[in-house]
Amino acid sequence: MKDAVIIGAGFAGAVTARVLAEHGKSVLLIEKRNHIGGNAYDWLDDNGVMRHEYGPHIFHTNSSRAVEFLSRFTGWYDYEHRVLGYVQGRLVPIPFNFRSIDMLFEKEKAEHLKSVLTEAYGEDHKVPILELRKNKDPEIRELAEYIFEHVFKYYTMKQWGYTAEEIDPAVTGRVPVITGYEDRYFQDSFQKMPDQGYTAMFEKMLDHENIEIALNTEAMDRLSVDPEKKEVWLDGSLYQGIVVYTGLVDQLLNYRCGDLPYRSLEFTVRTEKGRFQPVTTVNYPTRADMHPYTRITEYKNMQKNPPKEKTTIAVEYPFAYDRNGKNGRVPYYPVFTDESREKYQAYVDLLAGIDNVYLLGRLAQYRYYNMDAITEAALAFCDQLLENR
Ligand SMILES: Cc1cc2nc3c(=O)[nH]c(=O)nc-3n(C[C@H](O)[C@H](O)[C@H](O)COP(=O)(O)OP(=O)(O)OC[C@H]3O[C@@H](n4cnc5c(N)ncnc54)[C@H](O)[C@@H]3O)c2cc1C
């Protein structure tokens, strides 16, 4: 019997597997897909493009602990992400900043708007759009309504199926308005990509004699949890080792409190000649009847040695997650409402008292994690676990 069973070979599961293995624990890592890496999985396609199967993943962080750990398994190359948005027929920088103002307004008006914003918030300040819309100055409010209409309103509706006012303000707050010319999408001190890709990094991380990987394996075919008896069963026997679960918590408990809502995505991938667009990602914050998709990603624009002749692009369409549906079968983002938070808590309560089951990662904890944040969280989780066991 293994000391630990980990479900899911994404960042949460792989980082945990490696640390436990290095502390002498034997680990069985169960993954239902045919590959490791979770949603960060990438691969070199026929065009020579490093494709990110589940959407573009850009590594950026201020966490020296995450960088130090991951650097044991990969080198890095510099990459700073920049995004353009299709606004009134032009491609303007997103986050919306002074350059976007320069491109969309005539010179005199643009100069005036920039000085009003600087006076109100100072230079290079990041202002959430919902805050900007509440400003007392009618001129700032008018600009805020313009930005809201052209950058946030339809994008949010397409992405989430809700209006910006209906969803958690943290969601729109993630892409602020910037009172300066900073046009990088992220401002973290470390912005680099793994030099051979994410999958290669995971391969090294999981290459350890104490780790056994079972791909193409649905965990629920081997593992079950009985919340009444407070028991965990693995391959037909009572299991008292460590279980780190990074999958969907509603699935773990057989959906007995109902399905947790997620937003899903579908990607239409195609080959084009040469270069398709000026940056890796172009957002389409337009009405759905104009562009039914939210963004287009050209992967080679963030690649170290991109091919010249051909390019691969992915057009991204959001859907409601439906585990039995035709589209939207992959759960990507939790949809936070009071009801979904309560439902999640009901699942967590059911697991209380089962001392060997731990929930970790974006699915099991029903929260949004960036890659650096889940790396840090997994390392902190291991610190605690190893202290107690
Ligand atoms: C479209 C998109 C873009 C993103 N871009 C960025 C970015 O640019 N930068 C950034 O830092 N972060 C980004 N992220 C976040 C990043 O994907 C997460 O931080 C990371 O995937 C979290 O790792 P995880 O291990 O928690 O989850 P996952 O990567 O989802 O791993 C969970 C794994 O568990 C497996 N699994 C689930 N249930 C079972 C089961 N029952 N049996 C067996 N296996 C199971 C899954 O197949 C999966 O492989 C993005 C996320 C999305 C959705």
Segment 19-71, tens digit of pLDDT: 999 999 999 999 999 999 999 999 999 999 999 999 999 999 999 999 999 99
Tell me the pLDDT tens digit for each residue of 121-144: 999 999 999 899 999 999 999 999
- Contact (Cβ atoms closer than 8 angstroms) between residue 328 and residue 70: no
Report the C-alpha gap between 320 and 328 in whole angstroms. 6
Residue from 174, 184, 223, 246 whose mutation best tests the ligand 1 pocket (most atoms within 8 A of CB): 246
Q: What is the mean pLDDT of residues 160-169?
A: 79
The CA 362 to ligand 1 mean position distance, Å, reads 7
The CA 163 to ligand 1 mean position distance, Å, reads 25
Q: What is the mean pLDDT of residues 136-159?
A: 94
Share of the chain above pLDDT 90, in %: 94
How wide is the angle at C-alpha 265 spanned by C-alphas 192 and 223, nearest 5°? Answer: 90
| pLDDT score recorded for residue 29 | 98
252 in contact with ligand 1, CB cutoff 6 A: no
> Where does residue 242 rank: exposed (0-12), middle (13-18), buried (19+ CB within 10 A)?
buried
Tell me the pLDDT tens digit for each residue of 206-254: 999 999 999 999 999 999 999 999 999 999 999 999 999 999 999 999 9
Atom 46 (ligand 1) nearest CA: 8
Enumerate the domain spans of the chain. 4-75+195-260+334-388, 97-178
In terms of CATH architecture, what is 4-75+195-260+334-388?
3-Layer(aba) Sandwich (3.40)
Instruction: Retrieve residue 304's tokens.
Output: 């170290």
Q: What is the mean pLDDT of residues 313-342?
A: 95
DSSP letters spanning 111-159 = HHHHHHHHHHH-TT-EE-HHHHTT-SSHHHHHHHHHHIIIIIIHHHHHH
295 in contact with ligand 1, CB cutoff 6 A: no
Neighbours of 41 (CB within 10 A): 21
- Contact (Cβ atoms closer than 8 angstroms) between residue 151 and residue 94: yes
Residue 287 pLDDT > 90: yes
13 in contact with ligand 1, CB cutoff 6 A: yes
Atom 39 (ligand 1) nearest CA: 247
The CA 272 to ligand 1 mean position distance, Å, reads 28
| pLDDT score recorded for residue 75 | 98
Report the C-alpha gap between 175 and 198 in whole angstroms. 25
Atom 1 (ligand 1) nearest CA: 55
pLDDT band, residue 171 (cuts 50/70/90): confident
Residue 9, C-beta contacts closer than 8 angstroms, at least 6 positions apart: 17, 29, 31, 33, 35, 36, 37, 38, 202, 206, 213, 215
Report the C-alpha gap between 247 and 141 in whole angstroms. 43
pLDDT band, residue 316 (cuts 50/70/90): very high
- What's the pTM? 0.96
223 in contact with ligand 1, CB cutoff 6 A: no
32 in contact with ligand 1, CB cutoff 6 A: yes
| pLDDT score recorded for residue 7 | 98
Share of the chain above pLDDT 70, in %: 100
| pLDDT score recorded for residue 174 | 74
Report the C-alpha gap between 60 and 81 in whole angstroms. 9
Average pLDDT value for the chain: 96
30 in contact with ligand 1, CB cutoff 6 A: yes
362 in contact with ligand 1, CB cutoff 6 A: yes
253 in contact with ligand 1, CB cutoff 6 A: no
